[in-house]
Structure 1
């Protein structure tokens, strides 16, 4: 069973500043121990400001491999693309622009299944371990309790023998890391912002809650999960 530590922020700006500093510290620690660090970042609206601050951190970004935990199966320049969001935040400025970004291959393949398989192969080549081990995975939390693109009561929740899988949510086909990969990370951080996340966050912290209703419960690394949440998201906790 996962254990959680909550870091309270005043608002999304405060959350972004605090989270970016902690993320940078974990990357720095990993790079003290090995030549390259592999991290996986969440998409969505909440993390964008965090990544803008993170991109300003003075790290040897040329030694950091950046992945996404999930991606919509859209063109890379589509406004719904998580890769585009990263290009506009973390990768938009020096020194963060020096990071080696490995986007999820999407419409360069004929189907989401082919994209997922290609993404799995890419991760296997760069990350060690079975399942692959990321030094850090940053995740978001949806209003319905989903994380990455693992949605409530979906088939993707049951995938244990693959590193990636396909999913469908909010009208889009998606490629996502699976629960075993998310749980294998050395460190997991959740970013949770806004009053609309109150119920989902309460369920995530409830030991009796089912992963079928709140898929974020599937993320269960050995280390303590750190949750950065603003005051409005914490009102029910």
Structure 2
């Protein structure tokens, strides 16, 4: 694993640095493999990144968009990660509809939806049983509680090692989420983190020893590159490396 930590002066600089890395990885993936696969994060922090991406003229036909997790609501719900990304970016450019791969949330049973999405990933990446896909880019954030994607502290999803997609749980509300092993197979994992409220969790995530079940972002140790981009408010206690 190649781990890079950068603390940027403010949130605007954080977004611009994130944009530069994402654009570079998109272009490199298309040049090397003919396509780029990206899994998006939800929450407020990446929204301006998506708005910036919408201003660039990229090879949309060669980019496939997925989501690392999704709240169990329809795409037009205000809490939908898909809906946020569509409004900020995907509906603003000429993305082929077939290149967007949202997590399904229509079935009454979230476990059925998780299984459906796992099947879609297996077909798209042409996986054999037991194999994991290698996303080119997985974007992540963290919560004040140290969660990432919908891998929340002390939840069953943290223990899932043999699935690509599972059901997360946030205060009794179901989510659909990539599993930690899937995320860890990515070529590039990019955490984009802002605000001082994240500092206590970051201290534990970066500590040499701490409990993964309490701070699930510690589980993310990818085979490829691991980028932590933080604004000064979030990252001022961390040494640059």
TM-score normalized with structure 2 length: 0.92
1:86 paired residue number: 85
Matched, 1:73 2:38: no
Please list every run of 5 or more consecutive structure 2 residues that lacks an aligned counterpart in the other structure.
Answer: none
1:209 paired residue number: 210
Give the Cα separation in 1 of the matches to 2:237 and 2:126.
Answer: 39
- Asked if the contact 1:127/1:134 (under 8 Å) is kept, the reply is no
The 5 A counterparts of 1:107-186 are: 107=106, 109-129=107-127, 130-170=131-171, 172-186=173-187
How many residue pairs get aligned? The number is 234
What is the Cα deviation at residue 127 of structure 1? 2.2
2:20 paired residue number: 21
What is the Cα deviation at residue 101 of structure 1? 1.4
Tell me the secondary structure at the aligned position of residue 212 of structure 1.
coil
> What does the per-residue CA deviation read over 1:36-68, in whole Å, with 9 as the maximum and x for residues that have no partner?
221111111111111111222332011111000
What is the Cα deviation at residue 211 of structure 1? 0.9
Give the Cα separation in 2 of the matches to 1:139 and 1:128.
Answer: 24
Give the Cα separation in 2 of the matches to 1:52 and 1:178.
Answer: 27
2:60 paired residue number: 61
What is the Cα deviation at residue 103 of structure 1? 0.7
Give the Cα separation in 2 of the matches to 1:90 and 1:4.
Answer: 28
Give the Cα separation in 1 of the matches to 2:151 and 2:59.
Answer: 32
Give the Cα separation in 2 of the matches to 1:80 and 1:189.
Answer: 22
- 1:79–1:192 Cα change, 3 Å: same
What is the Cα deviation at residue 221 of structure 1? 1.1
Tell me the secondary structure at the aligned position of residue 160 of structure 1.
coil
- 1:48–1:19 Cα change, 3 Å: same
Give the Cα separation in 1 of the matches to 2:22 and 2:229.
Answer: 11
Give the Cα separation in 1 of the matches to 2:11 and 2:173.
Answer: 27
Please list every run of 5 or more consecutive structure 1 residues that lacks an aligned counterpart in the other structure.
Answer: none
After TM superposition, the structure 1 stretch with the greater mean CA deviation from structure 2, 168-177 or 22-31, is 168-177
What is the Cα deviation at residue 171 of structure 1? 5.0
After TM superposition, the structure 1 stretch with the greater mean CA deviation from structure 2, 3-12 or 179-188, is 3-12
Give the Cα separation in 1 of the matches to 2:228 and 2:34.
Answer: 28
Give the Cα separation in 1 of the matches to 2:3 and 2:185.
Answer: 16
- Asked if the contact 2:187/2:225 (under 8 Å) is kept, the reply is no
Give the Cα separation in 1 of the matches to 2:126 and 2:224.
Answer: 18
TM-score normalized with structure 1 length: 0.93
Tell me the secondary structure at the aligned position of residue 64 of structure 2.
strand
What is the Cα deviation at residue 182 of structure 1? 0.4
